[in-house]
Amino acid sequence: MMSQRQADGLCNPAVTLQARQLLGLVCVRGGAPCPLIDGGEARGVLERLAKDSTLSIRLCSNAEELAHYTATLDRRPDPVDAFNRKRDLDVLQRLGLCPGDTRRGRYLIELLFERIETPVGICAFDTEGWEGCELAHQGAYEGVRGRGWREIVYCRSDEERAEYREPNERAIAGGDRLFIRPHHLMCMSCWYNGGEASGKRPNDTLAEVLERIQREPEVPITLVEGPCQACDCCDGFDPGTGRCVHACGLIRDYKKDLDVFQRTGLMPGATLPAREMMDLLFERVASTRDICGYGDGVVTAEEWRICGGPEGNAGYARTRETGIFGDRQGG
């Protein structure tokens, strides 16, 4: 059985890179001998990313190391250093991050490919004296980007996920209780959409959870923090650590869980019959805006994106109105 606590990979990064070297990793993966990062170092990080979906990377820059101008008057400026500092800050600005920020590799590569199409304009310019790296024009980065983030970062195979799904479904169907993280009961309700949903969900077993609840309204539900019984077949679930490495799972889902606990007056480990649990949820949480929209519907950063829209998910509202047991639940 897993320990209740494990080292926080987001506060204790496994790898530290200059921000510009994130681009270098992709270029090396594409076959270019990028001058921004040692080839051996790059290959080492790439090997780790290809095996470990939990790998966390800290992005750094020496932009703030500059001294007051009076301390540098007798020194000749270093053009390479200036160019590299600009590269670091260009990358960080595009990603919406700051020096010292730590994110999991999957998150960084997904975001990198979404926001930076080419290293041209970061690693190379047509400005005299700022020509930069000739390799930036050769398409190594663009080629890897075109194949997607899985070209660099490990992702569970469909076969592995299927192997985990089968015993997971059996446990949900026949166990003496269900172990669910609180906000997943809201996800289930959004998907149910007042009775409109049907079929299995490909990336979780919430449909199976709903089926068990509807069949046995008195089945106990124990609320847990973090990845739960519905997560085993998800492409973002890491079986080795039990962590969620999905982009959306970095931190916002943990806040959602705790917000639901607070709204319902419960604590991790609380157990209630399914009908009573859903009654309490629908009574205390009127809209996904309260939890998934943080109460104000304001997106403060990429990590705090809102699921279901800033005004709330209409599917949750319909399920709250109709209930999931064939009778009206909520008000």
Please report, for the chain, the start and end positions of each structural domain, with discontinuous segments joined by +. Answer: 15-151, 158-322
Written as six digits, the tokens of 180 are 């669910």
Tokens 């200059």 — which residue? 18
Q: With a threshold of 0.85, does the pTM exceed it? A: yes
Output the pLDDT for position 276: 98
Output the pLDDT for position 115: 97
The residue count for the chain: 331
Identify residue 304 by its one-letter amino acid code. W
Output the pLDDT for position 6: 77
24-42: pLDDT as tens digits: 999 999 999 999 999 999 9
Alpha-carbon gap, residue 82 to 116, rounded angstroms:
21
Which element (helix H / strand E) includes 146? helix 140-147
Output the pLDDT for position 4: 67
Residues 6+ apart with CB under 8 A from 319: 189, 190, 192, 193, 194, 195
Q: 196 exposed, middle or buried (CB, 10 Å; 0-12, 13-18, 19+)?
A: exposed
Find out whether 20 and 81 touch, Cβ atoms under 8 Å.
no
pLDDT, block means (10 residues), the chain with 331 residues: 66 95 97 96 98 94 86 82 96 97 95 97 95 95 98 96 96 97 98 94 96 97 95 94 81 95 98 98 98 96 92 97 76 41
Torsion of CA 194, 195, 198, 201, to 10 degrees: 30
How large is the greatest C-alpha to C-alpha distance in the chain, in angstroms?
81
Average pLDDT, the chain: 93
Per-position DSSP letters for 294-321, written without gaps between them: TTTT---SGGGPPSS-TT--HHHHHHHH
Alpha-carbon gap, residue 208 to 200, rounded angstroms:
7
Output the pLDDT for position 268: 97
Helix/strand/coil percentages in the chain, nearest 5 = 45, 10, 45
47-78: pLDDT as tens digits: 999 999 899 999 999 988 888 888 877 778 88
Output the pLDDT for position 331: 41
